[in-house]
Every structure is written in C-alpha cells, then in structure tokens.
Amino acid sequence: MQYGVFERRMTDQRTILLADDDVALLEVLQEFLQLQDFKVVPCVNGREALTRLKQEPVDLVLTDMYMPELTGIELIERVRRYDHKVPIILLTGYSTVELTIDALRAGATNFIVKPFNLEDMLKIVQVSLTRLEEEGRFTRVNRLLTDFRRSFTLPSAEGEVAHLIRLFQHDLQGFGFSPIQISNYLLMLQELLFNAIYHGNLEISSEVRGEGIDGQLKFQELATTRMADPHYSDRKIQLSWIWTESHLEVIVKDEGPGFDWRWWMEKTRKLDTLGSSGRGMMLVQSFADQLQFNEQGNETTALLSLPTD
C-alpha cells in the first residue's frame, strides 16, 4: 500500500464508517480519507461498527473481512436487514474467492484486495458515492412486457460508456431492481465494456498494468498508441441487453482474438492470483447468476434473474 502527502479534493463532506481491527491500517486510512474531506467514523471490530451505524447515518461503509465480534460478512448481512442503499466496500486479504463472492452476494457493492493503492481505493469510494446519488426513484413499469432489447455498436473507446451506463440504469429502475442490485449491475456492465475495449480489441494484457504508478503509465501509453492504430482502433464492440419473462441477458462481444476463459475460470479460484483485469471479471462473475462465454472467448453473456415480487 502506498501512502504519502495528499491534497484535499472534495468539497461536500460525506461520512464513511471504517471498520478494521488493524489499528495501524485504520489510522492510515482515516487520515487519508480525512484529507479528502470525508468525515470518518473508525471502528475496531464489527460489533462496534454495527452499533455506530444504528446511531448515526453514514454515506458509505469500508469494512475488513476478518474482525473480532462480527466478521465483515456478518456485518454486511446485518446492515442489509435495515439499510439496502448504503454502499459497502469490503477490504479483503488473500482469502478464498468463495468468501469474497459470499460477501458480494450478502450485499457488498465492491471489494478491494489488500495490499492496495490508496488512490485506487479513493476512486472506488468516489464511484460508489456517485452511483448512490444518481439512483433517484425506483418504479415498477412494463409488467406486461414479455421481451425487450437494446443493441449497440460501439467504437473501442470510453467516450460512450458513461451514457450507456446511465441508460442501463434507467432500464434497471423501470423493471424494479433494488438499489443494491442496480449498483452491482452498473459496475458489472462497466467492467464488461472496459474488458472488451482494453483486453479485447486493443489486446493489452493485464500484466502490462503491473503494480504502482509505473504500471499504470505503461498501460495508458500502450492504450493511447493502439487507439491511434487502425488495426486496433477500427474494431467494434457489440452490446445488447435483453429482457425476457424470467431474466435479463447482458451480452458484450469484441472483435479481438478472444481469451482462454477456461484457464481464467481456474485462475480465479484464488484472489492472490488476480490482476486488475481478473478483479473486474471476478466482480462480473459474482453479480451474474450465470456467466457464459463463446468458444473463441470474445463474447461474454451475463444472465440476471428478474425481480419476482
């Protein structure tokens, strides 16, 4: 984990509850978040965190996986009994994939693998808070609709991703998905699209990113170079989301050479083998009821069950 001198960046103060029994890490995270103008409520175990959450409203929860009194998963489950909206980000070490997936399905909206970069953590926090602000009101419409499809052909660039995410959010709201489901599915679509752009059409391996700022710069430089090369930049992405009577299909297909998805499925059995790309696809795997690939590995289909109540 990297830490240094950081400037204040946010003007509207939000409250973050931070739960971790590692006192040294707790102090570092508290100082860093306060420098970003967050109010921080520190807690050294899960039971204290639950008590504080019932005493005062917070805008986001950052919790460790393993804590005395209540584990991170137990804390998430109890919070979700009375608060379905607050974003919960899990801080997890090199534990099993199954435990992390259990936490996501219990109601966590994202996770960060230790050790982590503080700037990366801040981005995840900011995205989670932004999505909460944009959720608005949720209504049930189109109950008699038996199928619905939107299809798009996209360039290999991020320019349209934000607009598509908002349109997807609008459709999810109309079909009665819960706030936590919507937050998860928006993140899922974003990861699918970024994977198709960078690892699919631009053919940039996640290994390029490496660790720290040098890896990030190398990744961005290679992306910029390939965006200017028609061999890569002329490739398109096909995106569809399809409603039927029972489920939603989200299909993303790129024009790259594909990848060995069977090898990837085996690799994700342990968190400590995941790179940045693997982390994103693991989120996709966690949020989808089923995840399917074509034989070539350049088309991914995520199946999501529709709300029934």
Q: List, in order, residues 6 or more apart from 90 with CB less than 8 Å away.
A: 63, 64, 65, 72, 76, 100, 103, 104, 108, 110, 111, 112
Q: How far apart are CA 48 and CA 50, in angstroms?
A: 5
**pLDDT of 3 higher than 80:** no
Considering the domain architecture, whether residues 155 and 297 belong to the same structural domain is answered as yes
Q: In this predicted model, what pLDDT tens digit does every residue of 112-128 receive, in sequence order?
A: 888 788 988 998 898 88
Considering the domain architecture, whether residues 160 and 274 belong to the same structural domain is answered as yes
* Direct distance between the N- and C-terminal alpha carbons of the chain, in angstroms, rounded to an integer: 44
Mean pLDDT (the chain, rounded)? 82
Structural domain of 290: 148-305
Q: How far apart are CA 95 and CA 272, in angstroms?
A: 8
**pLDDT of 261 higher than 70:** yes
Contact 227, 233 (CB under 8 A): yes
- Is 9 a member of any domain? no
Q: In this predicted model, what pLDDT tens digit does every residue of 26-49 receive, in sequence order?
A: 999 999 999 999 999 999 999 999
Considering the domain architecture, whether residues 85 and 193 belong to the same structural domain is answered as no
CA distances from 135 to 36, 123, 127, 248, 255 (A): 23, 19, 13, 19, 33
- Is 214 a member of any domain? yes
Per-residue tokens: 255: 């024009």
Of the residues 75, 103, 134, the one at which a domain ends: 134
What's the predicted TM-score (pTM) here? 0.61
C-alpha 74: how far from its chain's center? 20
- Is 143 a member of any domain? no
Q: In this predicted model, what pLDDT tens digit does every residue of 147-204 receive, in sequence order?
A: 789 999 999 888 888 888 888 987 887 777 877 788 889 889 988 999 999 999 999 8
Sole residue written with tokens 């590692």: 22
What is the percent of the chain where pLDDT is above 90?
Answer: 37
**Total count of domains within the chain:** 2
59: left (phi over 0), alpha (psi -120 to 50) or beta: alpha
**pLDDT of 217 higher than 80:** yes
Q: List, in order, residues 6 or more apart from 12 with CB less than 8 Å away.
A: 37
Considering the domain architecture, whether residues 69 and 176 belong to the same structural domain is answered as no
**pLDDT of 284 higher than 60:** yes
Per-residue tokens: 206: 């996640």
Tell me what pLDDT residue 297 has: 92
Considering the domain architecture, whether residues 193 and 93 belong to the same structural domain is answered as no
- Is 68 a member of any domain? yes
CATH code at 208? Answer: 3.30.565.10
Tell me what pLDDT residue 129 has: 85
List, in sequence order, every residue forming a beta bridge with 43; answer none if it has no partner: 19
Considering the domain architecture, whether residues 43 and 73 belong to the same structural domain is answered as yes
- Among 234, 253, 15, 18, which Cα is nearest to 118's? 18
Considering the domain architecture, whether residues 120 and 179 belong to the same structural domain is answered as no
Tell me what pLDDT residue 95 has: 56
Consecutive H or E run containing 89: strand 88-92
Considering the domain architecture, whether residues 126 and 174 belong to the same structural domain is answered as no
Considering the domain architecture, whether residues 97 and 182 belong to the same structural domain is answered as no
Q: What is the mean pLDDT of residues 81-92?
A: 86
Tell me what pLDDT residue 211 has: 59
Tell me what pLDDT residue 33 has: 95
- Is 165 a member of any domain? yes
Considering the domain architecture, whether residues 194 and 282 belong to the same structural domain is answered as yes
Least confident stretch, 2-16, 57-71, 100-114 = 2-16
134: confidence class by pLDDT, cuts 50, 70, 90: low
Residue 96, SS3 per DSSP: strand
Contact 45, 21 (CB under 8 A): yes
- Is 8 a member of any domain? no
Tell me what pLDDT residue 112 has: 85
Q: List, in order, residues 6 or more apart from 146 with CB less than 8 Å away.
A: 244, 245
Consecutive H or E run containing 152: strand 148-155
Considering the domain architecture, whether residues 154 and 87 belong to the same structural domain is answered as no
Considering the domain architecture, whether residues 184 and 209 belong to the same structural domain is answered as yes
Of the residues 88, 104, 134, the one at which a domain ends: 134
Least confident stretch, 80-89, 142-151, 280-289 = 142-151
CATH code at 34? Answer: 3.40.50.2300
Of the residues 73, 99, 134, the one at which a domain ends: 134
- Is 268 a member of any domain? yes
- Is 3 a member of any domain? no
